[in-house]
């Protein structure tokens, strides 16, 4: 496992009140960071923050006004921001493709996609003021492969992976590294009723601590626009994307920078 020293640095974790977020908060604090815990669950955020001598900030990350205000508050309190883990997320919970619950769909996109965009846009100016920094976005293996049981969740995670790949390359010259982490199924409340199905067939699940360790690896080794994968019993590794079709039927390398068309 790669290590990284965050002593003297300030980190922000969205969705930090429980599950993956809380485990990452604890890991970043152990690595030396002062951690800001953001979550819609105020009591949960305060509990997690208190355990690591951090700062809790409540709010709905899918609201476009929240994360800019959070980042401004972080800078006013600590004078800097160095690491951001955009982790807040919810499940789609809609099987099939023809019976759309529009309100649930808009909430899904708001949390899983909009919050990531708002978070990156809010964090980048603060990271620039430090001469660079790290952004890790929690995606999913559903961002790399189809998950027919939940097409809408798959949609949001594909969007997040694509955004991380493009934003990462755009910000690389400024010393700001954006990476996506794409874990398999994790034993958190997000699984809902599926947890019983997994248990019934002894399907191996990742733990929140597994993901916290993977975040540490990505912070230490992650490159611009990379997507990292982790499955039970495996190492955290960078996913190798295929190339893209080129003119005349050839193939361009997977890290090609597409220009304006």
Indicate which residues carry an active-site annotation: 153, 157
CA 142 – CA 36 distance, rounded (Å): 28
188 close to 235: Cβ distance less than 8 angstroms: no
- Evaluate whether 92 touches 108 at the Cβ level (below 8 Å): yes
Distance of CA 12 to the CA centre of its chain: 11
Measured CA to CA, the distance from residue 172 to residue 66 in angstroms comes to 26
**In the numeric block, which tokens belong to residue 120?**
């990156």
d(CA 49, CA 22): 9
- Encode 200-226: b = buried (16+ Cβ within 10 Å), e = exposed: eeeeebbebebbbbbbbbbbeebebbb
């Amino acid at each position: 496992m790669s290590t990284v020293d965050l002593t003297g640095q300030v980190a922000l974790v969205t969705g930090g009140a429980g599950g993956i977020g809380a485990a990452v908060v604890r890991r970043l604090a152990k690595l030396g960071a002062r951690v800001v815990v953001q979550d819609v669950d105020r009591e949960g955020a305060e509990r997690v923050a208190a355990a690591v001598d951090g700062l809790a900030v409540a709010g709905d990350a899918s609201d476009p006004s929240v994360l800019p205000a959070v980042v401004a508050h972080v800078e006013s309190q600590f004078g800097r921001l160095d690491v951001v883990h955009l982790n807040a997320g919810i499940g789609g919970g809609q099987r099939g493709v023809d019976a759309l619950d529009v309100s649930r769909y808009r909430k899904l996109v708001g949390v899983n996609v909009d919050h990531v965009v708002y978070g990156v846009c809010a964090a980048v100016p603060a990271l620039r003021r430090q001469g660079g920094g790290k952004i890790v976005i929690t995606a999913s293996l559903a961002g790399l492969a189809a998950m027919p049981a939940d097409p809408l969740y798959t949609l949001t995670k594909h969007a997040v992976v694509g955004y991380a790949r493009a934003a990462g390359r755009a910000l690389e010259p400024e010393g700001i590294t954006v990476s996506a982490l794409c874990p398999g199924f994790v034993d958190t409340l997000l699984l809902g009723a599926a947890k019983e199905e997994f248990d019934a067939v002894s399907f191996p699940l990742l733990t929140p601590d597994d993901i916290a360790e993977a975040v540490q690896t990505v912070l230490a080794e992650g490159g611009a626009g990379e997507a990292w994968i982790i499955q039970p019993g495996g190492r955290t590794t960078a996913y190798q994307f295929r190339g893209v079709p080129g003119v005349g039927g050839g193939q361009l390398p997977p890290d090609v920078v597409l220009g304006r068309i």
